[in-house]
C-alpha cells in the first residue's frame, strides 16, 4: 500500500476542490460575514505565504489569541499545512499563565484579535520569543497598539500569494497543533497534536455513530477554538464540506439562539454552562431551533435536568461527549445503541447523562489497585485511555511521568462502567470526598442537586473534618425565581431518597455564583480554600 501520509492539507484542499461554493459564516466585530470555501482556501494560501514572509519556517510555533471566526479557521490550516505548528493560546488564562505558555511554547509569531490586544499588551514585555504580531481585524489598518512589530492580517493577505501550495511531503507525525491544559493547580501543561493524530481524530468525528459530521450539516463550534481544537469541528467541517458557523466574540445565549435559528445550525458543541444559558434563553425568548440534529455537551458533566429539558421540552437530540486536552479530545459519546434504546427506553436520559461508549480507534479501561473494575455501574476506578490521538507526554514537562504510564494516559477521572461498557465519570481523583474511609462522589451529588427545579448550579466539595477526615458541603446557586423561597432542609429532603444517609452534604451554602475556570468548569480548588475551616471549631 502507498505510504501516503495523513496530513491536514488533504482537508482544506478537498473543501477547495469539491465544495468551493459552500459557506463559512463568521461573526466578527463588524457583523456577519460570509465566505465560500474557495475564498477561505485562497485566503489560507495567502496567509501561509504572508507568515513565511514574516519568518515562519518548518517547525516554528505560531500562536493564536482569538475568538471563533474565519481568520482563526484560516490559521488552523495555513500554519500546519506549511509544516509549522499552531499554538492555540487560551485567552482566558491569567497573565502569569499566558506569559508562561507563550514563552514555554516559544511562539515566534502571535496572531491576536483586535479586541483582545489589551490582554497581550500588558504582558508583552515578558514575552521572550515573539518576533512579531499580526492583528486580526476587519480593518486593514493596524489599530493603535503598544505592541512592537505589529502587522494587519488583512493587509498581509492582500500581498500574500493566493497560489501558495500546501505541503504534501511532510511526515504524518509532524507536530501540527498545540494546546495547554487549563490547569487548576501549577502551570498549564502543553499537549502537541500531530497531523496523523488530528486526521484520525477527524475521521472519528465523521463516523455515523459519532458526531457524524457530513456535507449537509451546518456546524457551529461554540466551544472555543483555543480549547482542544474546538473539539476538532473545524477540521471535520472543512474536510467533509459542511457549512460552518463561527460565532465570534461577545458570545451570549441570545446570539447563539439567533445563529441557530437564522443559519439553521444542525450540529453544535460546547460546555454545559453554555447550554444552561441557552436553555434559559429559549425559555425567555423562544426561537425555532428545530434544525439541530445534534447538540453535544462536554468539558464537564451535564446535569440531567438540563438534558431532559433539551430532549423533552425542545425535542433537541442531546449527547454528552467525554474528552480532555490530552485526548484531542473525543474519547466517548453518550448515544444509545439499538439494544439499549429498545430495552431501556425509560432510562434514556440517565444513559445520555453518562460519558457513553468509547469511539472506534481508542481503548479505555477503568482500573483500581486490583486491576480492571467489574462492569457493575458501582465499582469506581481511574479511567485510563490508549490510542493514536491520545498524548504520550506533556511538552517539555517533568510532570509527564505522573500522567503517562505503561503506554496509557491516566486521566485522573474516577469512573464506573455499566454492563454495556458505558463510562460514567463519578469524580476527579482530587475531588472525591473520602469520608470515614469510604468514597463519596461529588459529581453524583451535584447531578442530583442540579436536577432540582430550583437549582441553577451546584458544586459539592470535600471539607476537612476532624472525625470523618472529609465531609461533603454543597455550594448552590438558585434560579432567580426561587431565591429566598427554598430552604436548606427542603434541598436535603430532596436528596434523601437518592443517597445513603452518610453521603448527604453536611451543609448547603447558597451563593450568587460558583467560581469557574477559564473554560467554564467549577473552580473547586477556590471553594475548598474558602471553606477549608468550615468544620473547625472556633
- Catalytic positions, written as ranges: 181, 326, 434, 439
Pairwise CA distance, residues 271 & 195, whole Å: 26
Interaction between residue 363 and its own copies (CB under 8 A):
yes
- The set of cell numbers assigned to 186 is 501549577
Closest listed residue to residue 401, CA positions, set 189, 208, 103, 256 = 189
Measured CA to CA, the distance from residue 247 to residue 230 in angstroms comes to 12
Q: Is 118 in the site for its own copies (CB under 8 A)?
A: no
Of 177 and 505, the one with the shorter C-beta distance to its own copies is 177
Gyration radius of the chain's alpha carbons: 23
Confirm or reject binding of residue 304 to its own copies (CB under 8 A). no
Give me the least distance between CB of 191 and its own copies, in Å please: 9
Name the residue nearer to its own copies (CB basis): 234 or 241: 241
Kindly indicate which of the ranges 141-149, 354-362, 473-481, 488-496 contains the residues binding its own copies, using the contact rule CB under 8 A: 354-362
Note whether 213 binds its own copies by CB under 8 A.
Answer: yes
Q: Please select the residue that binds its own copies; options are 1, 31, 406, 501, rule is CB under 8 A.
A: 1
Does residue 500 interact with its own copies by CB under 8 A? no
Stretch near its own copies under the rule CB under 8 A, chosen from 66-74, 155-163, 236-244, 435-443: 236-244
CA distance 440 to 432: 6
User: Which H or E run includes 278?
Assistant: helix 272-284
* Range 18-47, binding its own copies (CB under 8 A): 18-19, 21-22
Reference 257, options 302, 303, 288; nearest CA is 288
Handedness of CA 333, 339, 341, 343 (dihedral sign): negative
| Residue 472 lies near its own copies (rule: CB under 8 A) | no
Q: How far is the CB of 462 from its own copies (least distance, A)?
A: 33
| 438: β partners | 435
End-to-end Cα spacing for the chain = 74
C-beta closer to its own copies: residue 124 or 337 = 337
CB of 69 to its own copies, least distance (A): 24
C-beta of 415: minimal distance to its own copies in Å?
Answer: 15
Supply the minimum distance, in Å, between the C-beta of residue 329 and its own copies.
13
| By the rule CB under 8 A, 388 interacts with its own copies | yes
Nearest to 226 by CA among 374, 367, 380, 119: 119
Reading the block at residue 57, the C-alpha cell is 519556517
Question: Of 304, 330, 300, which is closest to residue 428 (Cα–Cα)?
Answer: 300
Nearer to its own copies, 17 or 146 (CB): 17
Record the cell numbers describing residue 5, joined without a space: 501520509
Strands 190-194 and 218-221 turn out to be unpaired
The secondary structure element, H or E, covering residue 380 is none
412 binding its own copies? (CB under 8 A) = no
Q: State the residues that interact with its own copies by CB under 8 A.
A: 1-6, 10-11, 14, 17-19, 21-22, 173, 192-194, 196-197, 200, 203-204, 206-209, 212-216, 239-241, 337-339, 357-358, 360-361, 363, 386-392, 407, 409, 420-421
Amino acid at each position: 500500500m502507498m505510504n501516503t501520509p495523513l496530513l491536514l492539507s488533504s482537508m482544506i484542499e478537498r473543501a477547495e476542490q469539491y465544495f468551493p461554493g459552500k459557506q463559512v459564516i463568521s461573526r466578527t466585530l463588524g457583523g456577519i460575514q460570509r465566505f465560500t470555501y474557495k475564498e477561505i482556501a485562497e485566503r489560507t494560501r495567502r496567509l501561509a505565504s504572508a507568515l513565511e514572509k514574516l519568518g515562519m519556517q518548518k517547525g516554528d510555533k505560531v500562536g493564536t489569541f482569538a475568538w471563533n471566526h474565519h481568520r482563526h479557521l484560516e490559521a488552523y490550516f495555513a500554519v500546519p499545512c506549511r509544516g509549522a505548528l499552531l499554538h492555540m493560546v487560551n485567552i482566558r488564562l491569567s497573565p502569569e499563565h499566558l506569559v508562561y505558555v507563550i514563552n514555554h511554547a516559544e511562539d515566534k509569531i502571535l496572531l491576536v484579535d483586535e479586541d483582545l490586544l489589551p490582554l497581550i499588551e500588558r504582558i508583552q514585555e515578558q514575552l521572550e520569543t515573539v518576533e512579531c504580531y499580526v492583528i486580526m481585524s476587519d480593518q486593514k489598518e493596524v489599530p493603535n497598539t503598544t505592541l512592537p512589530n505589529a502587522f494587519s492580517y488583512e493587509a498581509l493577505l492582500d500581498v500574500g500569494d493566493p497560489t501558495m501550495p500546501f505541503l504534501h511531503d511532510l511526515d504524518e507525525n509532524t507536530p501540527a497543533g498545540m494546546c495547554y491544559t487549563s490547569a487548576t493547580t501549577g502551570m498549564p501543561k502543553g499537549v502537541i497534536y500531530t497531523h496523523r493524530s488530528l486526521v484520525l481524530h477527524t475521521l472519528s468525528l465523521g463516523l455515523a455513530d459519532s458526531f457524524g459530521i457530513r456535507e449537509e450539516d451546518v456546524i457551529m463550534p461554540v466551544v472555543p477554538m483555543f480549547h482542544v481544537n474546538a473539539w476538532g469541528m473545524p477540521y471535520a467541517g472543512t474536510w467533509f464540506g459542511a457549512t460552518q458557523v463561527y460565532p465570534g466574540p461577545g458570545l451570549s445565549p441570545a446570539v447563539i439562539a439567533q445563529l441557530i435559528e437564522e443559519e439553521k445550525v444542525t450540529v453544535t458543541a460546547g460546555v454545559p454552562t453554555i447550554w444552561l444559558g441557552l436553555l434559559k434563553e429559549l425559555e425567555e425568548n423562544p426561537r425555532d431551533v428545530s434544525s439541530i440534529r445534534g447538540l453535544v455537551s462536554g468539558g464537564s458533566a451535564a446535569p440531567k435536568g438540563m438534558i431532559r429539558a433539551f430532549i423533552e421540552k425542545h425535542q433537541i437530540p442531546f449527547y454528552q461527549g467525554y474528552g480532555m486536552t490530552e485526548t484531542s479530545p473525543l474519547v466517548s459519546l453518550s448515544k444509545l445503541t439499538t439494544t439499549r434504546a429498545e430495552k431501556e427506553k425509560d432510562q434514556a436520559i440517565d444513559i445520555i447523562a453518562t460519558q457513553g461508549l468509547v469511539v472506534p480507534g481508542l481503548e479505555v479501561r477503568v482500573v483500581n489497585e486490583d486491576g480492571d473494575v467489574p462492569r457493575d455501574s458501582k465499582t469506581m476506578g481511574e479511567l485510563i485511555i490508549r490510542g493514536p490521538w491520545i498524548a504520550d507526554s506533556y511538552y517539555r514537562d517533568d510532570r509527564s511521568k505522573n500522567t503517562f504510564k505503561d503506554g496509557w494516559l491516566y486521566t485522573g477521572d474516577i469512573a464506573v462502567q455499566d454492563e454495556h461498557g458505558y463510562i460514567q465519570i463519578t469524580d476527579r481523583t482530587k475531588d472525591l470526598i473520602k469520608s470515614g474511609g469510604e468514597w463519596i462522589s461529588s459529581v453524583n451529588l451535584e447531578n442530583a442537586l442540579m436536577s432540582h427545579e430550583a437549582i441553577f448550579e451546584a458544586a459539592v466539595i470535600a471539607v476537612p473534618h476532624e472525625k470523618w477526615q472529609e465531609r461533603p458541603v454543597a455550594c448552590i446557586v438558585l434560579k432567580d425565581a426561587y431565591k429566598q423561597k427554598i430552604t436548606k432542609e427542603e434541598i436535603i429532603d430532596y436528596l434523601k431518597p437518592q443517597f445513603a444517609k452518610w453521603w448527604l452534604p453536611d451543609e448547603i451554602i447558597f451563593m450568587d455564583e460558583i467560581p469557574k475556570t477559564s473554560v467554564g468548569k467549577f473552580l473547586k480548588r477556590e471553594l475548598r480554600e474558602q471553606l477549608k475551616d468550615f468544620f473547625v471549631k472556633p
